[in-house]
Copies of this chain bind each other. A is one copy, B any other.
Amino acid sequence: MEHHRKALHVPHQFVIFAGTANPELAIAIAAEVGVVPGACTIERFPDGETSIQLQESVRQKEVFLVQPLSPPANEHLVELLAMADACRRAAAARITAVVPYLGYARSDKRHGRREPIMGRMVADVLEAVGIHHVLTVDLHTSQIEGFFKIPVDTLTAIPRLATYLSKDLPPGVVVVAPDAGALRMASEYAHRLDGRVAVLHKRRESGTGTQVTHLVGDVAGKTCLIVDDMISTGGTLASAIEALLKAGARPELTIAATHGLLVAGARQKIAQEAVKKILITDTVAGAPEDWPPLHIISIAPLIAGALKRLVEHRSLGDLY
């Protein structure tokens, strides 16, 4: 009766699919891993509904869906859900969402108001369609990992960005957190750059109730590096630039952020004479190529390094 116990030597296989949010990054990651993305048709029906068809088998394979939740976040989210549903129904063994920029991460609390917590909602729907694992980069707050029940591996671009910055910035640079939430990140940069820290925080004025930005720390005559996890509209940065210059910082500012969304006139707000260099990564597609101070460091090698370890079941420990 032993003959139906014969061993089936099934090699472990994987496929990387690219969503439409950042296909260049997906191709770059795949190239670093030594493969090409799996064939897959992603279209819109004439009424705008998302249409997905996988062109290759995922049966019992490990699937990686590369899709940052960059703007338009809702479109990219539903597309990711659709891809995962297709993979699950096609009997993928394991589905990992590679989401270098996790949209809606700033909606991570309620402040006593009747709001959603969109970061958790995104986690709920990703889990609801059968995603097993998330790979992301520099979350807005590290608590967001806890919104997920599935494993989340959060990589960080800070070491790379800091190494790049260390060539230009003097020891003693003041690393400025443009708001309270960025203070931990600023401490991390300051450690790597041998710098000091200053922080801006918003406060409602008693009496008027209008919000004003206060600077805590000394920047007069200092070289400053403003750091944040992302550049969205540039509004926070513009306030920080204004506050720093007013406080006498040297008008040779550097800005570093992992995610460069650059929406809603961000470029106009930030493109000031005092801003000499802006450093971001390519987690979000579409950063302008014709803006001299802007430098883009590719995140692909970091993510590819993680993917290789994931498919080989090795620790990511050396990537942190």
**Chain A interface, number of residues (Cβ within 8 angstroms):** 129
> In the assembled complex, which residues on chain B have CB atoms less than 8 Å from the CB atom of A86?
114-116
Tell me the bound Cα distance from A75 to B204 in angstroms: 33
Q: How many copies altogether?
A: 6
* A94 to chain B: closest residue by CB: B60
Question: When the two chains form their complex, are residues B50 and A74 in contact, meaning their CB atoms are under 8 A apart?
Answer: yes
> In the assembled complex, which residues on chain B have CB atoms less than 8 Å from the CB atom of A66?
none
* A311 to chain B: closest residue by CB: B8
A58 part of interface (Cβ distance < 8 Å): yes
Our pick among B75, B112, B147, B151 for the contact of A75 (Cβ within 8 Å) is B75
A220 part of interface (Cβ distance < 8 Å): no
Residues A199 and B183 in contact in the complex (CB < 8 Å), given A10-B12, A264-B47, A313-B61: yes
Question: When the two chains form their complex, are residues A13 and B3 in contact, meaning their CB atoms are under 8 A apart?
Answer: no
Question: When the two chains form their complex, are residues A46 and B232 in contact, meaning their CB atoms are under 8 A apart?
Answer: yes
> In the assembled complex, which residues on chain B have CB atoms less than 8 Å from the CB atom of A112?
154, 156, 317, 320
Question: When the two chains form their complex, are residues A261 and B47 in contact, meaning their CB atoms are under 8 A apart?
Answer: yes
> In the assembled complex, which residues on chain B have CB atoms less than 8 Å from the CB atom of A320?
112
Q: How far is the CB of A40 from chain B (nearest CB, A)?
A: 9
9 additional A-B pairs beyond A89-B114, A197-B203, beta carbons within 8 Å, are: A9-B11, A10-B12, A52-B116, A86-B114, A86-B116, A180-B183, A197-B216, A198-B216, A216-B217
